[in-house]
Amino acid sequence: MTDVVLFETLAGANGKKIGVATLNVEKKLNSLSLEMVNALLPQLRAWEQDAAIACVWLQGAGEKAFCAGGDVKVLHDRIKEAGPQQAMSFCQAFFENEYRLDYLIHRYRKPLIVWGHGIVMGGGIGLMSGASHRVVTEASRLAMPEITIGLYPDVGGTWFLNHAPGRSGLFLGLTGANINAADALFVGLADRFIPASRKTAVMNALQAVQWSADVRQHDGQVTHVLRAHEELSALPASLVRTHYDVIQRLTDGDDCADLVSNILAHVSDDPWLGKAIATLKKGCPMTAHLVYEQLHRGKKWSLEQVFQMELIMSVQCCLHPDFPEGVRALLVDKDGNPQWQHSDVASVSADWIEQHFTSPWAQHPLHNLGQ
């Protein structure tokens, strides 16, 4: 059986090594499973403690995707096949371990480079967003498209969407809009643009680094290598930057229903903007409220608080009907016709929304996150 994550160490200078982790489910666009998370967590922790490891490199197998998101079809199947308690236990384990991994990456004490080539969506952005050095290429396509399946932008989305310029994060969460490498740099989801053809040269340069005896210098040494291989003249135009003023105007509403109405009423012949609006129109009304609420409630929260809230939200999504129905329509039956619980955003009750923010536990499973 093929390992879902491949681990290797490359020899570097001064007796140092580079830890390389490769998501290895190419046929599924390296979609993140519980097995992959459970493999990555202990290995990243071990490399963090290993004095011989100077930096860590995380990538996806193949040329199509770094990681196309969480393997939500597995969640759907478990919800439908198991009893309520078993389904909840599996969903909790899936999201809890995923968020522990994402949090570890955010707080990693060594340089961690993510090669975000190709498709980077959902759980893939969760792996990438907290890394110290996030690289995008000309083929990078990023999105948080949970509006299409009745989930919401988790994996720290409350944190990184709130840190995007203006209300661009809110717009991206509501519409699931695809963004390119320049957009990723603009909204703060990437640090460097390097052509894919230079990947081997970057890795060779990292191996040749004369690593300082002061480990605090390693971060800057990695930055120096990546900067030397940037080619910003090849960077595409940023769609989010181009439409920034329009995005600000459309997301200026008094409440969720108001701003969604603003967006849906906008008429545009721009293909990118038009597709974003169409996705919101067809998307899950409950998700729109979850996006709006998570960003408003978590605006000034710590990273720990963000992941704690998101675990509640994710498990509640598994316990409510929209998420499994959205996955069914998109990935199981593939009929593209989800039957959402509400006909539009305005018809979702305050009580239904609040249920998604109500903890099902006496003690939160992530109560010790960060300790």
pLDDT in tens, 342-368: 999 999 999 999 999 999 999 999 999
> What's the pTM value of the predicted model, to 2 decimals?
0.97
Categorize the per-residue pLDDT at 86 as very low, low, confident or very high, splitting at 50, 70 and 90. confident
CB 204 within 8 A of CB 228: no
Using the structure block, give the residue that is written with the tokens 């291989």: 229
The values of phi and psi at residue 230, to 5°, are: -70, 150
CB 58 within 8 A of CB 131: yes
3-state secondary structure of 276: helix
- Rounded to whole angstroms, how far apart are CA atoms 36 and 21? 11
Q: Which domains are delineated in the chain?
A: 5-355 (3.90.226.10)
CB 44 within 8 A of CB 101: yes
Distance of CA 168 to the CA centre of its chain: 16
Using the structure block, give the residue that is written with the tokens 């071990």: 46
Distance of CA 82 to the CA centre of its chain: 27
pLDDT at 84 > cutoff 80: no
- Rounded to whole angstroms, how far apart are CA atoms 130 and 145? 19
Cα angle 351, 357, 361; round to 5: 115
pLDDT in tens, 258-298: 999 999 999 999 999 999 999 999 999 999 999 999 999 99
